Structure 1
């Protein structure tokens, strides 16, 4: 009888105090050492700052020809210095060992595809795939194992949806004009989106809201704060120093991760708003699980934005504001995270 009572009490304790299940995360990044935007390096450093709150199961530097593997290793090297520092709390807060992280890096496309498929086939929880570049590797994995789509949730940074007019794009001298910017994850994107096999794929596409990471003076001031926290904070500061235009906390791919980090939000419902922005389902019939950042106006054409391009400036600001309104809260949470991790008061 006593044994039965003990078992029942234990069951009650477990049910009242369930261990938080960490989201399984795979990152596909065009991080590299040959140029481009250094925000991928900042985003990787930010991810490692939060590596005890998500279960990183794959790191795919799919710009292999740009020394992407080496770029990932450099970030982990900075992480390792802090992980092994007895004054910091990486080990007591259950951060993954540096060698474990190194072992998650795919060294070529075949390894990357195998890693995605393998993780998608494991367990009963979805794999959250954060896409920080083009989508070709993910596309090839899905085409090789289409059944795994039901086990994926993908989060992509779109970097402006381009106009369908290629002649205008090629002939324009002002390639920063709205509608004439290429979608940086465009390779592979449409092949996935237009394939009927993936019509039910859970997909959150951050089209413009991520630009809220760049606005104003606050990101510049915040980068100075981050710099003071260990080798990893210094790395996040240092990787942008060679770029005069990037001396701030850019981390433009980080909103894909922020969506998984905010305490208390329902990650099953992007419509409620979060650190990453606010999202809508524009095509609930054809693509019931596809979400894109809320344009904030009823007549914006999500499918063919160039048809309502007269509203682009307004829509851009609406979307940016969806992230800006909670950016300070995200910064505050990040400050507290660093203070705890680096044993600061």
Structure 2
């Protein structure tokens, strides 16, 4: 009897010490008019892990691109698996499909209201905002209610951040195909980054490391595994089939979610290497809560990367390596997640 009581107490302690699920709100440029289908893959991947995070908002803010409709399509695929008695979504405490639908902001006004309301909600957990597109909506929410900055943490995909002046563009064009492009999430980005009232904003910016999602033969092979798991797995496979260049598991926004998924990682410390890559605090005094993927060399100007663009190739490889080192490990975790969901 005493032994049974001891075991019960151990179980109770274990349950009570389990970390609470992080509150996440997603901003995505998911759409039905073209672009990169990886946005749909990233959303579907999120739903496969929807019992490990607390989804409190979904903002498909490419409104003119039928982003709401694209999000609902992804939830519909999720719903078919959720209601399938041969699968384990309900047993594993996944959210109801209608709950996910209710989290969708239907327009810009709703989006700003949702961000502000969740940021101001009485909750001991911070609001983690995963931004999978431009930052206009985030900028507008912050400008509407600047006080929410102290209650949120943002995670962004930057896409080769660099200066916009013509000299920098031309110099980088001589080095890489990426040089002629400005960071695609730039709309809204710089207005937040250089606004003094947001200098303490908690911000993890994935500049180049996310490209490791695309490297090598493994993502193509892995896509063929994923498609065997339910309607949602087939959806992840199906959405890239119209594009010859995208027929693999790209899910380029997924590293922002991976940051929360690796067991044992301290999400309060981005400098510890994780499935999401390796990060550094480049401006500890000016921006004490800002992190970006580690360039891996001393001779790299984080503030004005075009000034050290001759090191682009080395830095690019270093940043990819931060995520590549653990990609096989999180692939295996994903395999186990799918087996857990889809096997009785």
The bucket for the TM-score relative to the shorter chain is over 0.9
Give the secondary structure class of the aligned counterpart of 1:260. coil
The residue that corresponds to 2:116 in the other structure is 117
Contact 2:240 2:247 (C-alpha < 8 Å) held by counterparts: yes
Deviation, 1:166, is 3.7
- 1:1-345 maps to which residues of 2 (within 5 A)? 13-14=12-13, 17-122=16-121, 123-166=123-166, 169=169, 177-343=177-343
Contact 1:296 1:319 (C-alpha < 8 Å) held by counterparts: yes
In the alignment, the residues of structure 2 paired with residue 173 and residue 16 of structure 1 have an alpha-carbon distance, to the nearest angstrom, of 54
Contact 2:41 2:249 (C-alpha < 8 Å) held by counterparts: yes
Q: Give the root-mean-square deviation of aligned CA atoms.
A: 2.2
Aligned residues: 337
Structure-2 change in CA distance of 1:169 and 1:94 (3 Å): same
Structure-2 change in CA distance of 1:77 and 1:118 (3 Å): same
In the alignment, the residues of structure 1 paired with residue 278 and residue 162 of structure 2 have an alpha-carbon distance, to the nearest angstrom, of 21
1:155-200 per-residue CA deviation (whole Å, 9 max, x = no partner) reads: 0000111333247759998996243222111000011111111111
Give the secondary structure class of the aligned counterpart of 1:270. coil
Deviates more, 1:195-204 or 1:329-338: 195-204
Deviation, 1:288, is 0.3
Deviates more, 1:153-162 or 1:178-187: 178-187
In the alignment, the residues of structure 2 paired with residue 31 and residue 269 of structure 1 have an alpha-carbon distance, to the nearest angstrom, of 29
Deviation, 1:64, is 0.6
1:268-306 per-residue CA deviation (whole Å, 9 max, x = no partner) reads: 111111001000000000000000000000120000000
In the alignment, the residues of structure 1 paired with residue 174 and residue 72 of structure 2 have an alpha-carbon distance, to the nearest angstrom, of 37
TM-score w.r.t. the length of structure 1 is: 0.93
Structure-2 change in CA distance of 1:290 and 1:303 (3 Å): same
Give the secondary structure class of the aligned counterpart of 1:124. coil
In the alignment, the residues of structure 1 paired with residue 27 and residue 343 of structure 2 have an alpha-carbon distance, to the nearest angstrom, of 31
In the alignment, the residues of structure 2 paired with residue 157 and residue 311 of structure 1 have an alpha-carbon distance, to the nearest angstrom, of 21
Structure-2 change in CA distance of 1:176 and 1:72 (3 Å): farther
Contact 2:172 2:306 (C-alpha < 8 Å) held by counterparts: no
Give the secondary structure class of the aligned counterpart of 1:27. strand
Structure 1 residues not aligned, in runs of 5+: 1-5
Deviation, 1:309, is 0.4
1:228-275 per-residue CA deviation (whole Å, 9 max, x = no partner) reads: 000000000000001100000000000000001111001111111100
Deviation, 1:15, is 7.9
In the alignment, the residues of structure 1 paired with residue 11 and residue 88 of structure 2 have an alpha-carbon distance, to the nearest angstrom, of 31
Structure 2 residues not aligned, in runs of 5+: none
Structure-2 change in CA distance of 1:112 and 1:14 (3 Å): same
Give the secondary structure class of the aligned counterpart of 1:306. helix
1:122-176 per-residue CA deviation (whole Å, 9 max, x = no partner) reads: 1121000000000000010011111111110100000111333247759998996
TM-score w.r.t. the length of structure 2 is: 0.94
Deviation, 1:14, is 4.9
1:48-98 per-residue CA deviation (whole Å, 9 max, x = no partner) reads: 000000000000000010000000000000000000000100000000000
1:192-219 per-residue CA deviation (whole Å, 9 max, x = no partner) reads: 1111111111100000000000000000
